[in-house]
Chain A
C-alpha cells in the first residue's frame, strides 16, 4: 500500500467518515480517493479546493497564516480539509455523528506525511 493510500485508509476507518480524497489545491483535481457510494468525489474535490484557497486568502488578509485545518459544518454532516505539502489538500466528507476531533487528528498527521 502506498503512503497516500495508507493515509487515506487511516482516515476512512474512522466511524462516520463517508469518503476521503487527496486533491490538488490549485485546480481541485482528484489525486486519490476512497469514497462510499453517493459521495460525489469530483464535486468535493473542486469545491473544497476552491473554498480552502479563498479562505486562506481571507485569513492572510486578516493577518493570519494559511489554515492548517478547515471544518465546514452543514446540516447533515461536514467537510474537513487539511492542506498538505506540495499544494495538496486532504479532504474528508463526514456524517453528522462522526468524531470530528479524531478525524482532525488523523488528517493532520496524514497531511504532514504527504510530501
Chain B
C-alpha cells in the first residue's frame, strides 16, 4: 500500500463521515485498484447521496470497470445535482460517442463548452465529433479515447417534466402508484401481450398498507423499501411520499443492490415531480 493511500485510509478510518473517501477512491482508481475504489466510492455515495463529486467518482470507476451503463447512471446523477458539471458532461459525451451517437455526444460537449469555453480538450473533442457527424457515419472508435479528448454528458433523452427525468430506463420499468392503487406515472413491459401496469398498481396499494402494519407491529418503525428477488428479475418498492408507492423493476443482469440504488434515485425524482405537480 502506498503512503498516500495509507494516509487517506487512516484519515477515513479516523473520521468515516469525512470527504476523504473522494481522494482515497480516486487514488485507488488511478492505481488500478478498481474494486477497492468502488467500495470506497459506494460507501461515500451512500453517505452523501446529494454530493455530485461522489457520483462523479463512482462514474469514473465504473467506466474503468467497463460498466458503461452504471457509469452513465452515475454521471447522470451528478448532473442532476450539478447541471453544469463539466466532468460529467464530458463523461456522458464520451459514452454517447462510444455508443455511436455522435449527435448526442456533440450536444453534451457543447454544453460543457458553454461552462468551460477555454478548455482546449473540449474544443478538440468537439472538432473530432463534428468530423464524425459531417462524415455522416458515426461509428464508435475502436477504443475509448482519452478522457481529456472527449467531453460531455447529458442525461437520458427524456422529455422534460416526466416523473423519472434522468433515471436510466426512464418511465419503463417504473410504476408510481397513489394510495388508491391508481397509476400516476411509469409503465411496465406487457405481460402476454397485455398491459400489466394497472393491475400491478392496484395490488401495490394493499402491499404498502401491509408493509406499514408489519413494521409498526414488529417495532421496526416505518417502512423504507421492499426488495423482491425473483428468479427472472429484481423488484424494489419504495415510498416517495406518504401517499405513494414506487415500483422499480429490472432484469437479473442488474444486481439487487444496484436496483436498490436506482430505486432511491427514482424515488427522489418522483418526489420532485409530485412537488412540481402540487
Contact = CB atoms under 8 A, between A and B. Distances in A.
B231 interface: yes
Given A55-B226, A67-B230, A68-B229, A62 B188 contact: yes
Interface string B207-219: 1001101110111
Given A58-B203, A62-B200, A63-B196, A75 B232 contact: no
Interface string A40-66: 100110011011001101110111111
Given A47-B210, A75-B220, A76-B221, A65 B215 contact: no
Interface of B: 188-189, 191-192, 196, 199-200, 203-204, 206-207, 210-211, 213-215, 217-233, 235, 247, 249
A103 interface: no
15 contacts: A44-B218, A59-B235, A61-B196, A62-B188, A62-B247, A67-B230, A69-B227, A70-B228, A72-B211, A72-B226, A73-B224, A74-B222, A76-B221, A79-B214, A79-B218
Contact of A71 (B203, B213, B227): B227
Contacts of A59: 228, 230, 235
Nearest to B223: A74
Contacts of A76: 219-221
A48 B231 CA distance: 20
Contact of A73 (B217, B225, B230): B225
Interface residues of A, number: 34
Contacts of A44: 214, 218
A70 B207 CA distance: 13
A64 B215 contact: no
Contacts of A47: 210, 213-214, 217-218
- List 3 tightest A-B contacts by C-beta distance, closest first: A75-B221, A74-B220, A74-B215
Contact of A64 (B217, B220, B233): B233
A76 B191 CA distance: 36
